[in-house]
Every structure is written in structure tokens, then in C-alpha cells.
Amino acid sequence: MLFNSFEFLAFFVTFLAIFFGLRKRTQPIVLLIASYVFYMSWRPSFGLLLALTTAVDYTTALMMARSRTDGGRKAAMVLALTINLGILATVKYLDFFIANVIGAAGLFGYVIPDYALGLALPLGISFYTFQSIGYTLDVYYRKVEAERDFLTYAQYVSFFPQLIAGPIERAAHMLPQFRTVHRLSFPDLNAGLFLIGFGLFKKMCIADVVGPVVNGIYAAPEQYSGSYQLLAVILFAIQIYCDFSGYSDIARGTARIMGFDLMINFRQPYFTCSLNEFWRCWHISLSSWFRDYLFIPLGGSRGSEWRTARNLMIVFAVSGIWHGAAWTFAAWGVLHGTGLVLERAFARTAKVELWLNPTTRRVFGWFWMMAIVLAGWVFFRSTSLANAFVVFRSLGEFGPVSYGTLKMLGLASVELLMLGVSLLILFVVDFHLAFRPRRLEALGEMRWLPTGAGVALAYYIILFGIFGHAEFIYFQF
């Protein structure tokens, strides 16, 4: 049941009618049932795994709360982490591990028959597992109290707007929201509809328009010159941003209509001027999760620069592997970790503020950030390391771009024109969100402008959006 489908529209409207129409004390039950219906619409068995994760973390958190010794608390915490990470490792990484063992054995002359479990990867398992682990560690470190009400905690884990692809929420922020009565209000409805509309615009009018071009070129990179490869690299950077931030906007919008507040997951990351800034604005819920639950426990930036560099490399290597069981994701993480280490070393030793003015520093910083980010997206999108290196090699062999080839890939004249218009709209809105937020707030307070803009956006999506069942990119993680 995709956010960009009529099935979800019917589901959500029906849910809202029941959620706000029945007695207020039934809201938690209605929300929990709806969340499981939403998740199990892909595959009923997924609900069993979600329920198991919920039961394990709820129970072990209560064990920590009731334990009178530090050893007992630690044992409960380790048990929860072992079960959560064990499930995640089994369904997501075991086949990858087996394939690499077979490959390594072949290098030494040992022939092992190909074998794979072929387990179905449950949608969103990386997201809700990390959310549950965050709760477990927060209880262990006494940052939050263990939730006594099972229904409240079950809603927190399964909340359908952000279940599949985040944002990865914290218990301190979300659990109190599940303990309150929610009422439909015009401000929430208005703000939620705008977020949903803008998220659908980014997904259907931009990400899904450029998707076929990216897919076509990356499917056979050796058949295209460097000009097409560079186009695919840039278009994928646009696609993944619009796809993922669009999902996050829709998630925030649906939650807002229901009276819930989800964190902002993207803050115009392509306008940042350093790799460090980029990671403060891209997938904020995940980057902050790694900062709080891995980077800081490893020692953070305390101590020597070597230790900080080591911690950064560990965090980004794990982040890459979190995205998927493939060496391309590991390479993506290592590249970003290396880039951050080099950026820190350069800032510490070069003293650029002494010989470059602020504007020039930001320009150079933007080009540096984009170079690393775009190179990283090559690894991220490629189906193998070999294909990634084909892309890099071809970038030195530029040639003419044929309109016929673009048309064959799915960008004919009309699509090109409307894509240009959509990108201009996105740039204007994101620029104001990043640098002129008060101007947007002033425009939003005008009497008829928000309504007119909302109606125009809806018509634009209907006329020029790609309708179908194109999944969001981060569903695979």
C-alpha cells in the first residue's frame, strides 16, 4: 500500500473517519489495527516479525526497570540487542555472508555449492529495528522510563506513517504523543495536506520522471558515454533526494493530520557547503541515531584525531552496511567516512580562513561536498563494484547527447519541459526554506494564497505526475 497510490488514499480516508468518529478511548486500538493492516498489506507474515520485535523490547525494557542490579539491567539490554540484531542479520545479511564465504573458498580452490536461504526481507525492518534499539538503549541509560502500557509501546513501534522508511523517532518524543487524545483540527489538516502535496510532487513529478532514465543507463553502463553517465549521476542525486524527502514529507503530513508531530528528516542538504553540514541535513533521523548510539559511545570526537577518524570510519562503514548487504553500500559508507576525515584534517591544518574570504570558502566547500556526494551516489546506485568503476572510467569519455536516446530512455520534449518546470519549483521552494523561511511564513499568512497554491499544486500533480506503483527507493532498506 504505497503512499502514492489510490489504495492508500482510500485506506487513509477510511482510517481518519473511524479514528476521529469513534469514542476517543478507542483511538489507540484503531491506530494499532490500522498500522498492522497497512504493514501486512505487503505480506501478512511481516506482521508476525513486527509483533515479535515489539514484544521483545517491551518485555526487556520492563526487566531493566524492575532489576535491582546493574548486571540484571545489562543482561536484559544485551538480550534485546541480541534478538533484534540477530533477526536483522539473519534476514538481511545471511545470504550475503554465505555468498562471500563461497567466493572466498573458491579463491583457494575449494568448491562449495551455491546456497542461499532466499528469505524475504521485511519492509522497513532496518528502520523499526533501529527505533526499537534506540528505545532499549534509552531505557538502559535511564534517558526514558520503561513504557508500562503495551498498547502505547506497540503503537510507537508500528506507527504506519513512518513504519516503512522513517523518520526513525525517539521514544522521548513519540511515546507521550500516544498517551494523549487526538482531535481533528483545521491547522493540522491544512499543514498536513500541504506536506503530503509537496511530498507527492517531489515523488511523482520529479523522482518518478527521472527514474526510468537512471534505471536505463545504470542497467547497462558500458553502453553509454561519459555524457550520459554524468547525466545519470546528477539525475540520481535528484531522484533519491526527491524520492526520500518526498516520503518523509508525506509521512509527516499524514501524522500531522492525525495530530502527531514527526521530526524533520531533510533540511535542503544540497545547499550545504561541507560534507559535515550535508550529514546534518540529510536523513537526519539516521545520522543523529548513529551519532548518539554509536559515534558518541565509541568516544566521539574526544581524544586524539586518530581516534576521531577511527570512530568516523566505523560509523560510516556500519551506515553503509545498514543500507544493504552489498559491497557497493560499504564502499559508499567508506567514501563518506574518508571524506569527513579529510575535511576535518584540512580544516584543522590549512587555516583557509586566513587566505579565503567566506564566500569563496563556501563555493569551494559546496564543490567539495557535491563531488563526494555524487561519487558516493555512483556506488550507492550501481548494481556491483564493477559497474561502479565502469561509470567512473566512462566519465573521462564525453560525447554528444542524442535527443533520440533521451526519448528512448523516457525524456521526450514534453517530459523534459515539465521536468525543468518541476525542478524550478523545487529549487525556489527549497531555497526559501533554506535561506528565506520568514518570507515563506509571510506568504503563508496571506488569506487566499495558501489555498490557491494548494489547489494549483494538486492540479499540477494530477496533470503531470507519474501515476502507478513506483515504490520509494528506501523501501528496500
Q: What secondary structure letter does DSSP report for 205?
A: I
- Catalytic residue IDs: 323
Distance CA 101, CA 88 (A): 19
Distance CA 174, CA 232 (A): 39
Residue with cell 535527443: 403
> DSSP string spanning 57-78?
HHHHHHHHHH-SSHHHHHHHHH
Backbone angles phi, psi at 445, to 5 degrees: -85, -5
Q: Which grid coordinates belong to 289?
A: 541515531
Contact 180, 445 (CB under 8 A): no
- CA-based nearest residue to 252, from 264, 266, 240: 264
Q: In degrees to the nearest 10, what's the CA dihedral of 292, 283, 256, 190?
A: 140
Burial class (CB in 10 A: 0-12, 13-18, 19+), 183: exposed
Vertex 7: Cα angle to 4 and 8 (nearest 5): 55
Kindly provide the residue ranges of all beta strands, DSSP E only, lying in 280-436, ordered along the sequence.
none
Q: Which grid coordinates belong to 249?
A: 514529507
| Structural Rg of the chain based on CA atoms | 24
Query: Residue 250, Cβ neighbours under 10 Å: how many?
Result: 26
113 cis-preceded (ω within 30 degrees of 0): no
Distance CA 252, CA 260 (A): 8
Distance CA 26, CA 241 (A): 38
- CA-based nearest residue to 172, from 258, 94, 257, 288: 288
Contact 188, 259 (CB under 8 A): yes
Longest dimension (CA), the chain: 75
